[in-house]
Amino acid sequence: MIMKKIISAIIVATTVMGCSLAPGMHFSSDKNIGNTEYVFLDDEKNIRIPVQPINLNLVNGQSNYNRANYLIGRGDSLNVTIWGLPEIFPMNVADRSNNMRIVNAEGAIFFPYVGTIIAEGRSPESVREEITTKLSKYFTDPQVDVSISGYNSQKIYILGEVTSPRKINLTETPLSLSDALGEALGLKTDTSAANEVFVIRDGGNIDNVSVFKADMSSPSGFLIANSFILQPEDIVYVNAKGTARWNRVISQFFPFSSLLNSVDNLVQQD
């Protein structure tokens, strides 16, 4: 039910925006300039985003986005375990709810004898060190362990001609484009354009947005995509077979923060 609402919201939003352009917005009838493809947002203001092919040169030169350095975010669940002090910090292997802390809307957690600390934007090790330091005021050599038990703050979206459009929560394990499409149960064999798989990446403002394009119609393209690591808030969009309107469809995602917020609100309501 949740996913049906999400898909409906995305289809309605994209369709409505696709049928009418905002004042002052113009779209080029040509998506290429020379040998480079672009997403055109406004011809008059020359706002256009180059489409970068996902090839060996790109994946070999991409920054090392190390998911092992996952930073805690709002909504993540943390397990905080204190060893050797069962009379004060009881441990129940069957039920670890007493050890669980959910990062609140302010990015903080509360822990006894420690108080409120900011966890957002930090590694579990950094949080562990602060808790250890503050507990040391009351206990001798406290043994503290902090781990992430629920990954809820970082996500990517799979849309378009895939079998099961969805939101995927990211973890410490790197998620490649190929893996993400596998999570969505693959491309629709009868309606998808396998050579037009796009990744739209928000850079915080229109000047830093990136659009990537993968060709998943061949084994080599799939292998290359398996080395392309997705980042938080990436949108993966698979174009429909037999249509050249991907340029205009993708342009509707900008700015796409309101679209992502709508999706998250639908999930939270359920």
**pLDDT recorded at residue 53:** 94
Say which DSSP state 226 is in. Answer: T
Question: What is the pTM for the complete model shown?
Answer: 0.76
Tokens, residue 255: 């700015």
**pLDDT recorded at residue 34:** 55
| Dist CA 236 CA 199 (whole Å) | 5
Tens-level pLDDT at each residue, the chain (270 residues): 444 455 445 544 444 344 433 433 333 434 555 578 888 876 666 678 899 999 998 888 776 555 557 899 999 999 999 998 988 888 766 566 678 999 999 999 999 999 999 999 999 999 999 999 999 999 999 999 999 999 999 999 999 999 999 999 999 899 999 999 999 999 999 999 999 999 999 876 667 788 999 999 999 999 999 999 999 999 999 999 987 778 777 777 776 555 555 555 544 444
Name the phi and psi angles at 246, rounded to 5.
-60, -35
Three-state secondary structure along the chain?
CHHHHHHHHHHHHHHHHHHCCCCCCCCCCCCEECCEEEEEEECCCCEEEEEEECCHHHHHHCCCCCHHHCCCCCCCEEEEEEECCCCCCCCCCCCCHHHEEECCCCCEEEECCCEEEECCCCCHHHHHHHHHHHHCCCCCCCEEEEEEEECCCCEEEEEECECCCEEEECCCCCCEHHHHHHHCCCECCCCEEEEEEEEEECCCCHHHCEEEEECCCCHHHHHHHCCCECCCCCEEEEEECCCCCHHHHHHCCCCCHHHHHHHHHHHHHC
Amino acid at 255: P
Among 188, 191, 181, 171, smallest CA distance to 232 is for 171
| Dist CA 217 CA 90 (whole Å) | 55
